């Protein structure tokens, strides 16, 4: 029994990757049937709110609750705007225009993009004289370079298509692919902004379940507002098939509901770095099943770019793991250390005793 307990976090993370893959594949199938990506985001967040809000209410009914002041409200509003509303609208637009495998691979850009943003605003210091600092930069360039290759160099088809000569994705019919990749990159950037915002958000409102419920509710209202102003066809709100209906409930309950508890539990047991290591597994699952069930075309350029992104991800995670070991060693030497680097808390700190109680590398809500 003890041996099984040791493997439970890994088993849970594998299960989560299948859930995330299911969200990507089912959403792609629903979008191909004509469902509006913006409508899908609204329904998904509405279902997630209805699922999370009662749990948050009854679990905190007999305990002290956090007070939602104006500062907390403003922080949660902007975190919802970037982390859910903008992130998911861009993600599902990109998923529709590009492919499931490309969307899944682009998610692995998040640690590298977060590192760049944190460095720009001064939350992450880069030591160009140390091996770890150089490795971080190399890993970041590998991630970004892999994403560029995926977007521009499609190359010959490996699956579900006849062999073609290598070419840049700049001809007619490739505009949607390029636009989809740009949307997906924008989605990763929005999620990185969300990660940086989590430090002040969680410090201001540390109740995890209630915070998630508030974010889902605000994202529902924000997404509905965007939909009302951008969608001319009112019939877009109507779900015409069981696939569309099932996708909304699956993504809301499992993709944005169950994953909250599983992610939080895994992070509390092994830390966010352990959880992040499983992200590429979702890319593999999505690529295989998308080719089999959705008949998506797999290109050599996309495959090479995806490998570049994944390798770059592990390079960045390796360097951050070494930073974390050094940070924990210094913390053990002195109990009066200065407050840790905010970006380090964002990406590495596994202790649930931080301001946010949870590691912030991995989302409280679904990734895609």
DSSP track, 14-58 = HHHHHHHHHHHHHHHHHHHTT--HHHHHHHHHHHHHHHHHHHHHH
Q: What is the pLDDT of residue 341?
A: 46
Confirm if 109 and 309 have CB atoms less than 8 A apart. Answer: yes
Q: What is the mean pLDDT of residues 149-163?
A: 67
Helices (H) and strands (E) in the chain, counts: 15, 2
The domain spans of the chain are: 2-347
> Strand 298-299 relative to strand 157-159: parallel, antiparallel, unpaired?
antiparallel
If you search the block for the tokens 């903008």, which residue do you land on? 86
Q: What is the pLDDT of residue 95?
A: 93
Judge whether residue 332 has pLDDT over 90.
no
122, burial (CB in 10 Å: exposed 0-12, middle 13-18, buried 19+): exposed
CA distances from 358 to 36, 125, 366 (A): 33, 23, 15
pLDDT in tens, 258-298: 887 787 677 667 766 677 778 888 888 888 888 888 888 77
Average pLDDT taken over every residue of the chain: 79
* First-to-last C-alpha distance (Å) of the chain: 34
Distance CA 300, CA 305 (A): 8
193's CB contacts (< 8 A; 6+ apart) are: 82, 83, 117
pLDDT in tens, 78-105: 999 998 999 999 999 999 998 888 898 8
For residues 222 and 274, the model is more confident at 222
* Token representation of residue 16: 């989560």
């Amino acid at each position: 029994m003890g041996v099984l307990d040791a493997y439970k976090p890994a088993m849970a993370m594998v299960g989560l990757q299948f859930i995330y893959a299911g969200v990507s594949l089912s959403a792609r199938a629903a979008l191909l049937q004509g469902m509006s990506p913006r409508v899908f985001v609204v329904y998904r967040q509405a279902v997630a709110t209805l699922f999370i809000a009662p749990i948050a209410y009854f679990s905190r009914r007999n305990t002290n609750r956090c007070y939602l002041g104006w500062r907390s409200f403003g922080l949660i509003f902007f975190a919802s705007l970037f982390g859910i509303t903008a992130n998911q609208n861009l993600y599902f637009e990109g998923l529709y225009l590009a492919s499931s495998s490309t969307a899944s691979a682009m998610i692995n850009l998040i640690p590298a993009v977060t590192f760049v943003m944190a460095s720009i605003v001064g939350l992450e210091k880069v030591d160009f004289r140390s091996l770890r600092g150089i490795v971080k930069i190399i890993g970041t360039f590998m991630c970004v370079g892999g994403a560029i290759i995926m977007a521009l160099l499609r190359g010959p088809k490996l699956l579900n298509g006849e062999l073609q000569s290598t070419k840049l994705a700049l001809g007619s019919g490739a505009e949607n692919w390029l636009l989809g990749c740009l949307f997906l990159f924008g989605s990763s950037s929005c999620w990185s902004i969300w990660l940086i915002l989590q430090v002040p958000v969680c410090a201001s409102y540390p109740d995890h379940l209630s915070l998630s419920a508030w974010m889902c509710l605000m994202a529902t209202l924000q997404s509905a507002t965007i939909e009302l102003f951008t969608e001319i066809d009112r019939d877009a709100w109507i779900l015409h098939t069981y696939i569309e209906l099932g996708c909304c409930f699956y993504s809301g309950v499992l993709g944005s509901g169950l994953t909250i508890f599983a992610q939080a539990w895994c992070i509390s047991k092994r830390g966010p770095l352990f959880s992040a290591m499983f992200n590429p597994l979702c890319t593999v699952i999505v690529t295989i099943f998308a080719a089999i069930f959705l008949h998506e075309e797999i290109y050599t350029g996309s495959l090479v770019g995806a490998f570049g992104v994944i390798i770059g991800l592990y390079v960045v995670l390796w360097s951050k793991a070494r930073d974390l070991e050094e940070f924990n060693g210094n913390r053990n030497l002195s109990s009066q250390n200065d407050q840790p680097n905010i970006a380090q808390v964002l990406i590495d700190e596994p202790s649930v005793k931080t301001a946010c109680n949870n590691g912030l590398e991995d989302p409280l809500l679904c990734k895609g």
